[in-house]
Amino acid sequence: MTRSPSPSPSLFGTASRTGRGLRAALAVAALAGACLALPAAPASAATPKIMIQSGAFRGYKLCASDEDQYLHLKPIMAADAFCTWRQWGSSSQFTLYNAAKDQVMAYTGGNEGLVVMEDPGTSPLGANGELWSWGGEEGWGASALQSFSDSGQNVDAKSPGDQDVPRTDPVRTRGWRHGYQRELTWSPIAL
């Protein structure tokens, strides 16, 4: 009776390490697959709250309305949960979520189009209608708040009739090249 030779210790060690590596790789792949299957998480305590202050009218901030789907400017000194936002995403592509309204800010299209609040995923413009970006910081220390769908459209704080007065009507967008620019800039302030 012939006996088969026993495996060499170095061959046995290699097979054992290969098995451990394979098991570890499978575990990582399973964890990654489980994470991908989870729904996107809404704003959490880890996402800082911000106030969005006008670059032209420093005493005013951007607020959702508790009465309708529009946005308005309100004095900074007024305490109001509808003026608190969470920015989900990087400065080049993000969603602005308002917990008091439980909705996101959205662009409706066109020059001087209304800015509205809507349920996430319901924009007629698709996902890009609910996305925003910050432009570069201007010399006065604020940045354009641009529609991601149309980066030429910026959230406008200027009254339609007077450049020196903050708007009292619902907030709209305006093209950067269409007149005054300071009114198209904002600063996110951590709360």
User: Higher model confidence: residue 24 or residue 63?
Assistant: 63
How many other C-beta atoms can be found within 10 angstroms of the C-beta atom of residue 66? Answer: 10
User: The domain 49-190 is classified under which CATH number: 3.40.50.150, 2.80.10.50, 2.40.160.60, 2.60.40.1510?
Assistant: 2.80.10.50
- Distance (Å, rounded) from C-alpha 169 to C-alpha 68? 12
**12: which DSSP letter?**
H
Q: What is the pLDDT of residues 33-88, one digit of tens each?
A: 333 333 344 545 578 999 999 999 999 999 999 999 999 999 999 889 999 999 99
What DSSP line would sit under 152-171, residue for residue? TEEEE-EETTEEEEE--S--
Q: What is the pLDDT of residues 138-180, one digit of tens each?
A: 999 999 999 999 999 999 999 988 778 999 999 999 998 776 8
Do 151 and 175 meet the contact criterion of CB atoms below 8 Å apart? no
User: Which value, to the nearest 10 degrees, does the dihedral of the CA atoms of residues 54, 61, 146, 86 take?
Assistant: 140
CA distances from 172 to 11, 146, 169 (A): 71, 11, 9
- Domain parsing of the chain, residue ranges: 7-38, 49-190
Q: What is the pLDDT of residues 2-15, one digit of tens each?
A: 444 444 444 444 44
All residues at 6 or more sequence positions from 6 whose CB lies less than 8 Å from its CB, including other chains: none
All residues at 6 or more sequence positions from 59 whose CB lies less than 8 Å from its CB, including other chains: 75, 76, 77
* Residue of 82, 156, 144, 75 whose CA lies nearest to 115: 156
Do 179 and 56 meet the contact criterion of CB atoms below 8 Å apart? no
- Distance (Å, rounded) from C-alpha 184 to C-alpha 141? 12
Strands 185-190 and 143-147: antiparallel
CA torsion through residues 145, 147, 148, 150, sign: negative
Its pTM stands at 0.76
